[in-house]
Amino acid sequence: DADVTQTPRNRITKTGKRIMLECSQTKGHDRMYWYRQDPGLGLRLIYYSFDVKDINKGEISDGYSVSRQAQAKFSLSLESAIPNQTALYFCATSDPPGRGSTDTQYFGPGTRLTVL
């Protein structure tokens, strides 16, 4: 089984709808992240969480919100989807450096979201 899973894998929705993307991990990592990727723009960080009680905005958090329900779960919500939120969304996890790890990020398979 995959260590980092995302649901759904693909989603088509309409402008104005509320969408939730979910991420679960079995790696036991404290840190979780949400990124979006657009063609030619690379990965951009939306939100990240260093533990269950910690939530931080990334570089493009407007229009998004997150919830860290447990160490293993981190969900991303689009309260009112708009077409320019059409993108490939990745969840990732890592352990902080200094605990036998180097902050290597492990990614889920991605969610392809289309907003019409």
Partner 1 sequence: RKEVEQDPGPFNVPEGATVAFNCTYSNSASQSFFWYRQDCRKEPKLLMSVYSSGNEDGRFTAQLNRASQYISLLIRDSKLSDSATYLCVVNGGTSYDKVIFGPGTSLSVIP
- Kindly state whether residue 43 participates in binding partner 1, applying the rule CB under 8 A: yes
- Kindly state whether residue 100 participates in binding partner 1, applying the rule CB under 8 A: no
Phi, psi of 83 (to 5 degrees): -55, -30
3-state secondary structure of 83: helix
- Kindly state whether residue 111 participates in binding partner 1, applying the rule CB under 8 A: no
Tell how strand 42-49 and strand 56-57 pair up.
antiparallel
Cα–Cα distance measured from residue 71 to residue 88, given in angstroms and rounded to the nearest whole number: 23
Sequence-ordered list of residues with C-beta below 8 angstroms from that of 26, at least 6 positions apart, any chain? 1, 3, 4, 72
How near is the Cβ of 33 to partner 1 at its closest, in Å?
7
- Kindly state whether residue 8 participates in binding partner 1, applying the rule CB under 8 A: no
User: In the complex with partner 1, which residue's Cβ is closer, 79 or 103?
Assistant: 103
User: In the complex with partner 1, which residue's Cβ is closer, 80 or 102?
Assistant: 102
For residue 81, count other CB atoms closer than 10 A to its CB.
22
For residue 46, count other CB atoms closer than 10 A to its CB.
23
- Kindly state whether residue 108 participates in binding partner 1, applying the rule CB under 8 A: yes
- Kindly state whether residue 105 participates in binding partner 1, applying the rule CB under 8 A: yes
Chain positions 64 to 93 lying near partner 1, rule: CB under 8 A, are: 88, 90
How near is the Cβ of 42 to partner 1 at its closest, in Å?
4
User: In the complex with partner 1, which residue's Cβ is closer, 6 or 75?
Assistant: 6
